[in-house]
Amino acid sequence: MTRRLYYDSSEIHEFDSVVEEVAPPSAEQSRPAVILRETAFYPTSGGQVHDTGWLTLEGAERLRVAEVADAEDGRILHYLEAPAKLPVAGARVRGSIDPERRRDHMQQHSGQHVLSAAFVELYHMPTVSFHMGEDYCSIDLATPSVSSEQIAGAEKRANEVVFENRPVRIRYVSRAEAEKLGLRKLPPAEHDELRLVEVDEFDLSACGGTHVDTTGQIGSILLRKTEKVRQGTRVEFVCGDRAVRMARRDYSALSEAAALFSAKLWDVPEHRGPTESGFRADSCRRCRYGGVAQAGFVVRRRARRWKPGLRAGWSPGELQCRAAFAEGGGYNRKLIPYGTQVFGKKVIGWRMASRPR
């Protein structure tokens, strides 16, 4: 059984150990695995993904640890990226884990505890599972649906707890004690001793993962899309540096879209009209049958000139499919796009095709 140094502290990035066993590549596993006496490497478990890093042998050969897994008997397997020469049992090694990847996992995992507790506190929605991916994380809530107001509410509450910079403590209790403490989620009865993670006066749950010391280190919690799944509703989220990177990517994409329409960022959703290259293929926003919006079938938005130099008094609004357009009755006008020359530049304008019905 490997001694787990990450249980004591999430900040141990370097450690010394001894090779206990080496499993050469086999038919099922193409990479060799090293088992150490103790390790700070976190193996994939409890929704959290594994650390990566290096094992440095005496004599200075560095071996890349590509994956870390938990064996059923309590040993931790460090899978190596095809080394030139395998270490031998008894060899002394220095382990170094990738600190940026570890910090990212600590932010996501601690953020999950806070977010799950916020959903319970505000809406009595318990978390049934947690998944940490390379790009985003998700929790599955035991509820048939979550409204956008609830998403915003849980996000606000979770970030308040982050800004309050509450201490996050680790302690060990017996199972009997844990049952009396009122944990958010009691794990299945496998161990007599439980490792508890406590966010000061906000959340108490049993967990073996790596967490931050204070909630401020989570940085921020950003909720993204929700999706219906078999066991309830999946909520995607990102924390810390991932939230910044995701916001940067969204901003770049939105800026490009805004430039395309010569619009302000917040006005992009209003611009569903033609682009220089023609029309956007989009689904019909009025349609009950998921129709595809068609050029020329547009609900009137405002009676104004939408670009200087055009005769049309109608501006393009929502593109609709034929069926939704026909249902719209007197409010809709069929607007036909036409090309015109304004100061030598081709501009697409709109004219009304028929009188109001």
- Span interacting with Zn ion, options 78-86, 91-99, 106-114, 343-351, rule CB under 5 A: 106-114
Which residue's CB comes closest to Zn ion? 207
Tokens standing for residue 76 = 């931790």
Q: Using the minimum distance from each CB to Zn ion, give the nearer residue, 109 or 286.
A: 109
Query: Cα(316)–Cα(112) distance, rounded to whole angstroms?
Result: 43
Other Cβ atoms closer than 10 A to 78: 29
DSSP state of 291: P
Nearer to Zn ion, 68 or 284 (CB): 68
Number of residues binding to Zn ion, judged by CB under 5 A? 3
Minimum distance of Zn ion from residue 196's CB (angstroms): 10
Collapsing DSSP to helix, strand or coil, 89 comes out as coil
List Cβ neighbours of 236 (8 Å cut-off, separation of 6 or more): 136, 137, 138, 223, 224, 225, 226, 227
Counting runs of H as helices and runs of E as strands, what totals does the chain give?
Answer: 5, 18
Task: Provide, rounded to whole angstroms, the least separation between the CB of residue 205 and Zn ion.
Answer: 7
Site string (108-127) toward Zn ion, x via CB under 5 A: -x------------------
**Nearest distance, CB of residue 6 and Zn ion, angstroms:** 12
Other CB atoms within 10 Å distance of the CB of residue 118: 23
Least distance between Zn ion and beta carbon 162 (Å)? 15
Q: For residues 67 and 198, which CB has a smaller minimum distance to Zn ion in the complex?
A: 198
Beta strands 38-39 and 3-4 are: parallel
Least distance (Å) from Zn ion to the CB of residue 74?
19
Task: Rank residues 29 and 45 by Cβ distance to Zn ion and give the closer one.
Answer: 45
Nearer to Zn ion, 207 or 238 (CB): 207
Residue number, 170 or 287, with CB nearest to Zn ion: 170
Contact 160, 221 (CB under 8 A): no
CB of 131 to Zn ion, least distance (A): 13
State the minimum distance, in angstroms, from the CB of residue 245 to Zn ion. 22
Side-chain half-sphere CA neighbours of 311 within 13 A = 8
Q: What is the dihedral of CA 207, 212, 217, 221, to 10 degrees?
A: -20
Distance from C-alpha of 110 to C-alpha of 210, rounded to nearest angstrom: 8
Build a one-symbol-per-residue string for 225-244: x at contacts with Zn ion by CB under 5 A, - elsewhere: --------------------
Which 193-212 residues touch Zn ion, going by CB under 5 A?
A: 207, 209
User: What is d(CA 118, CA 152) in angstroms, rounded to the nearest whole number?
Assistant: 11
What is the x/- site pattern for Zn ion, positions 32-51, by CB under 5 A? --------------------
We find the least distance from the C-beta atom of residue 164 to Zn ion, in angstroms, to be 19
In the shown chain, the binding pattern of residues 155 to 194 toward Zn ion, with x for contact by CB under 5 A and - for none, equals ----------------------------------------
Read off φ and ψ for residue 23, nearest 5 degrees.
Answer: -100, 115
Angle at 73 between CA 71 and CA 77, to 5 degrees: 30
Task: Decide whether 214 or 294 has the Cβ nearer to Zn ion.
Answer: 214
- Please report, as ranges, the residues that interact with Zn ion according to CB under 5 A: 109, 207, 209
